[in-house]
Amino acid sequence: MEIIPVIDLMGGIVVHARGDDRELYPPLESVLTQHLEPEKVIADLLAIYPFKRFYLADLDAIFYQNPDIDLYTLLLKRFPETTFWIDMGIQTQQQWMTLNKIKRIKPVIASETLNDLNLLTVERNSILSLDFQYGKFLGEPDLWRQPDIWPKNIIV
């Protein structure tokens, strides 16, 4: 079994993503770290366990199409043994390629932001996040009905 920590980023800090109102997510409060800066939170988690991967949800990129590529680069330099699965609200093949060309970053395609199902058939090496809220699937209904187009790696 592999444990992959999930880190939600917004406004340059780690937030506690819960509930509907994403604009009002509070800063993270955790017994695992006293920090809000992503690199310090990751360092604290790695001090507890040698995680190989982290899932980063870049909420600014998801909401505003403003990915923090500089932060991704900083994290790659700071944690050279770590792979990052990054959800930045990918909607186009160009966005996918921007992330995929960076070593140790794996782009996550989220059902809630995916507009073109063809992206999954073209980019078979993707990670697909099947998103739900209150038991309801978030995304194109055809995506849910066509598991044959899903990539090998799925997050639920």
pLDDT digits (tens, 9 = 90+) for 29-67: 899 999 999 999 999 999 999 999 999 999 999 988 888
Determine the residue type at 118.
N
pLDDT digits (tens, 9 = 90+) for 124-150: 778 999 999 889 999 999 999 999 999
Task: Sketch the domain layout of the chain as residue ranges.
Answer: 6-155
Q: Report residue 72's pLDDT band, with 50, 70 and 90 as the boundaries.
A: very high
Structure pTM? 0.90
Provide CATH code, domain 6-155.
3.20.20.70
